[in-house]
């Protein structure tokens, strides 16, 4: 499985933008980039995913480098509720086998200060 | 209820006990998963079910026995566990197994298991 590299931790101030980086230099041409987050005492939750183009949804934006070797999850205005561990995960476009599984790393622990 | 629910939320058991964890999803999904999250370790995928059939077992010891009677329910039967099996056990479901839209997984809150 292609691997990702994320900083162990980051800090942000409330109501400021947060840019969470992820390096995936060995990404294959068909791997999707997925982001999940895990709030304290909860299971992970899906945030966003993309393939080549930048993506926006109600939770966040995903900026993907042109060479796809890195990506950045952008929280436009961090709130205290955004304090969580954020996981960047590569998923092969498998339609039934193990290559489509979510392989979680250690993620980035985001702290948000009031 | 909506989403993915898990019961119990907390469980303490002795090494000789037999217990079961239950997961239920109200999302109409076809795939269900068991994960284990130990302290200081990343989430580990344990089992995958697709349309009630087990499609993956990631070398999980036989003291963990999954059961999927239908697409909405998933159980994890536990027997003769060890203290190192203490962890957060998470259930998830997805519409299908794809990486494209529809394949995102929805997780339950987990069962915090302590084995004495």
Across the interface, of B45, B90, B97, the residue whose CB is closest to A94 is B97
What integer pLDDT is reported at residue A74 of this predicted model? Answer: 98
What integer pLDDT is reported at residue B61 of this predicted model? Answer: 96
Q: Over range A9-35, report the average pLDDT.
A: 95
Q: Are B68 and B58 in contact (CB under 8 A)?
A: no
Where residue A2 falls among pLDDT bands split at 50, 70, 90? low
Check CB contact under 8 Å for B56 and A41.
no
Check CB contact under 8 Å for B99 and A98.
no
Which distant-in-sequence residues (6+ apart) come within 8 Å of A58 by Cβ?
none
What integer pLDDT is reported at residue A100 of this predicted model? Answer: 72
Distance CA A83, CA A81 (A): 5
Would you say residue A39 has pLDDT above 90?
Answer: yes
What integer pLDDT is reported at residue A99 of this predicted model? Answer: 65
B92 CB neighbour count, 10 Å cutoff: 26
B14 exposed, middle or buried (CB, 10 Å; 0-12, 13-18, 19+)? exposed
Where residue A46 falls among pLDDT bands split at 50, 70, 90? very high
What integer pLDDT is reported at residue A97 of this predicted model? Answer: 64
Cβ–Cβ contact A44 with B under 8 A: yes
Mutate to test the interface with B, among A1, A62, A102 (most CBs of B within 10 A): A102
Distance CA B64, CA B58 (A): 11
Cβ–Cβ contact B55 with A under 8 A: yes
What integer pLDDT is reported at residue B98 of this predicted model? Answer: 75
Across the interface, of B43, B97, B109, the residue whose CB is closest to A104 is B43
Where residue A1 falls among pLDDT bands split at 50, 70, 90? low
Q: Over range A35-59, report the average pLDDT.
A: 94
Distance CA A7, CA A80 (A): 20
Across the interface, of B50, B90, B99, the residue whose CB is closest to A32 is B99
Check CB contact under 8 Å for B45 and A43.
no
Check CB contact under 8 Å for B90 and A43.
yes
For chain A, give the mean pLDDT.
92
* Closest Cα in chain B, distance from residue A22 (Å): 17
Q: Over range A42-67, report the average pLDDT.
A: 95
Across the interface, of B42, B108, B109, the residue whose CB is closest to A104 is B42
In percent, how much of chain A has pLDDT > 90? 82
B40 exposed, middle or buried (CB, 10 Å; 0-12, 13-18, 19+)? exposed
B55, B89, B49: which is closest to B69 by C-alpha? B49
- Digit-by-digit pLDDT tens for chain B (116 residues) are 569 999 999 999 999 999 999 999 999 999 999 999 998 789 999 999 988 999 889 999 999 999 999 999 999 999 999 999 999 999 999 998 777 777 899 999 999 999 99
Q: What's the distance, CA A68 to chain centroid?
A: 14
């Amino acid at each position: 499985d292609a691997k990702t590299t994320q900083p162990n931790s980051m800090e942000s101030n409330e109501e400021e933008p947060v840019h969470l980086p992820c390096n995936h230099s060995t990404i294959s041409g068909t791997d999707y980039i997925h982001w999940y987050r895990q709030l304290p005492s909860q299971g992970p939750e899906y945030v966003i995913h993309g393939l080549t183009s930048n993506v926006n949804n109600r939770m966040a934006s995903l900026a993907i480098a042109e060479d796809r070797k890195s990506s950045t999850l952008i929280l436009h205005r961090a709130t205290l509720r955004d304090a969580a561990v954020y996981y960047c995960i590569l998923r092969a476009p498998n339609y039934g086998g193990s290559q489509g599984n979510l392989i979680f790393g250690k993620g980035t622990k985001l702290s948000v200060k009031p | 209820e909506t989403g993915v629910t898990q019961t119990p939320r907390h469980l303490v058991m002795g090494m000789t006990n037999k217990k079961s964890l239950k997961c239920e999803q109200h999302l109409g999904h076809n795939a269900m998963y068991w994960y284990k999250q130990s302290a200081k370790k990343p989430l580990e995928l344990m089992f995958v079910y697709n349309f009630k059939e087990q499609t993956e077992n990631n070398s999980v010891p036989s003291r963990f026995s999954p059961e999927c009677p239908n697409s909405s329910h998933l159980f994890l039967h536990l027997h003769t566990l060890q203290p190192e099996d203490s962890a957060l056990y998470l259930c998830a479901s997805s519409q299908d197994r794809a990486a494209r839209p529809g394949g995102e997984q929805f997780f339950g809150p987990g069962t915090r298991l302590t084995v004495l």
